[in-house]
Amino acid sequence: MLLEIQQVSKQYKKDSWALQDINLQLKPGIVGLLGPNGAGKSTLMRILATISQPSNGTVSWNGEDIRKKPDELRRTLGYLPQDFGVYPHLNPVEFLEYVAALKGLDRSKIRPRILEILELLNLHDTLKRPIGSFSGGMRQRIGIAQALLNDPRLLIFDEPTVGLDPEERVRFRSLLTDLSGERVIILSTHIVSDIEATADQVAILSKGQLLTKSNPSQLLHNVKGKVWSVVIPDHDLQEARAKWTISATIRREDGLQLRIVSDQPPLPGCTPVSPSLEDAYLHIKTTQEGTLSGSIPHHI
């Protein structure tokens, strides 16, 4: 299985690009697509899910251009968009049967599959409850369930853990790991910890352009020796934020403990600390954003 993204760009208006020249080759495993809101992640996800068309470039699934043969991909696609809607008066089984019918799945075989997925997502006690009575996190799990109905080979999750509590987030991460062996899974998020816990590869988007694609170990190696811990007085925080890239702030009795990403020691008395993926992400984002070609004034 291979998903190839070649020179993909998306333009909405003159000089208004959501994506510019994205190139990626994705094989089975989990790829974390990381970037701030407005980076172009959702635009790329919609293109990969055949909902939107690129202005330039091609996307191929196992060598077939998905623009020319979208059904080849759709038959094996599971997609959870960022804004997932439900029919609130239906219960989970009714809603998933409806989605299965839209996907053209065998009606005689779908009920056991639905019950299996609802059990997997800890929704087995809600079978007769209308979805309109669900919490935000429970509705998000229904969205995950519909993406899994057809046992897809390509899974696209756009901000899937929004609204999930910590226990649900851990369960979802474990599910992703279990699913990843024979599938291409794309996890698009701005939550670094979700990617740190699951992804084999990380692709970082900013301002519609791809900053890097690498494995987490390499990203951490690149920022080794560039993360520092220092304690400052509370009243110096604003000045510190203006000078340095700060990845974490902890209030202490003697002031504020800052975690700073910097090529050089930012202050006397600071100590080096082991980097995290969030440190690596911030380092790449701050050092490479200034080298991006052109300007993208509006992002989707």
294 pLDDT band, cuts 50/70/90, is very low
296 has a pLDDT exceeding 50: no
Q: Using one digit for the tens of pLDDT, what is the confidence trace for 98-154?
A: 999 988 898 888 999 999 999 988 898 899 999 999 988 889 899 999 999 999 999
> Across residues 21-28, what is the average pLDDT?
96
Under 8 Å CB-to-CB from 129, ≥6 apart: which residues?
Answer: 91, 92
Q: What is the pLDDT of residue 289?
A: 67
What is the pTM (predicted TM-score) of this model? 0.87
* Cβ count near 93 (within 10 Å): 17
30 has a pLDDT exceeding 80: yes
Mean pLDDT of the chain: 90
Taking alpha carbons only, the member of 69, 63, 46, 71 closest to residue 2 is 63
What type of residue sits at position 277? L
The backbone torsions φ and ψ at residue 11, rounded to the nearest 5 degrees and listed phi first, read: -115, 130
Q: How far, rounded to the nearest angstrom, does the alpha carbon of residue 6 sit from its chain's CA centroid?
A: 20
291 has a pLDDT exceeding 80: no
* Cβ count near 15 (within 10 Å): 11
Q: What is the pLDDT of residue 193?
A: 85
Q: What is the pLDDT of residue 290?
A: 57
Q: What is the pLDDT of residue 250?
A: 95
**R_g (Cα) of the chain, nearest Å:** 21
Q: Using one digit for the tens of pLDDT, what is the confidence trace for 193-249?
A: 889 888 999 999 999 999 999 999 999 999 999 999 999 999 999 999 999 999 999
Residue 58 CB burial class (10 angstroms; 0-12, 13-18, ≥19): middle
Q: What is the pLDDT of residue 297?
A: 34
Q: Using one digit for the tens of pLDDT, what is the confidence trace for 41-93?
A: 999 999 999 999 999 999 999 999 999 999 989 999 999 998 888 899 999 99
Min mean pLDDT across 91-100, 273-282, 285-294 is at 285-294
Q: What is the pLDDT of residue 241?
A: 94
Q: What is the pLDDT of residue 293?
A: 47
Taking alpha carbons only, the member of 209, 298, 300 closest to residue 14 is 298
Q: Residue 272: helix, strand or coil by DSSP?
A: strand
